[in-house]
Amino acid sequence: MFTVYTYSIAGLLVISFTVFVQNIVAAVAHRKQSRYIPGKVSEELSHDSFVFRSHRTFHNSLENIHQFTLPALLCIFLGAPTDILAIVIWVFALSRILHMALYYAVATEKNPSPRSYFYVVGALCTLGVYGLAFINLFT
């Protein structure tokens, strides 16, 4: 049953691995500071600090991953169309990777920032998997 969802499952693995990488990057950046308290980011830091940006990137992904992956998994169990689901998952995965890269690279307080557009793409993908789940639940 799951072999038809190979591309969707691969996309979910990429999403999960991306968050794992963000965790490592944030931890290493945090530990490289001359003064740090484990598990706490200084409130004095802002977007000009890579420590702040890597921490926020990781936590932003933590805030979003379950909202996407749980309905995506439900879509697999409900028999959602394989091609549509795979496309939505991979667009979400790529949008989160681009969001991450821009958050790491661009130190800006401006809103919307370039990363905001990829956040919106990910949010639309999240709505898409919820829609697919509900459609397949009632059909």
40: three-class secondary structure by DSSP: strand
The tens digit of pLDDT for each residue in 82-110 reads 999 999 999 999 999 999 999 999 878 88
Instruction: Return the CATH number of the domain spanning residue range 2-137.
Output: 1.20.120.550
Sequence ranges of the domains in the chain: 2-137
User: In the chain, which ranges are continuous DSSP H helix?
Assistant: 6-31, 50-78, 82-105, 114-137
**Gap between the Cα atoms of 56 and 133, Å rounded:** 29
The tens place of each residue's pLDDT in the chain, 139 residues long, gives 678 999 999 999 999 999 999 999 999 998 887 776 676 777 788 888 898 999 999 999 999 999 999 999 999 999 999 999 999 999 999 999 999 999 999 878 888 888 999 999 999 999 999 999 999 999 8
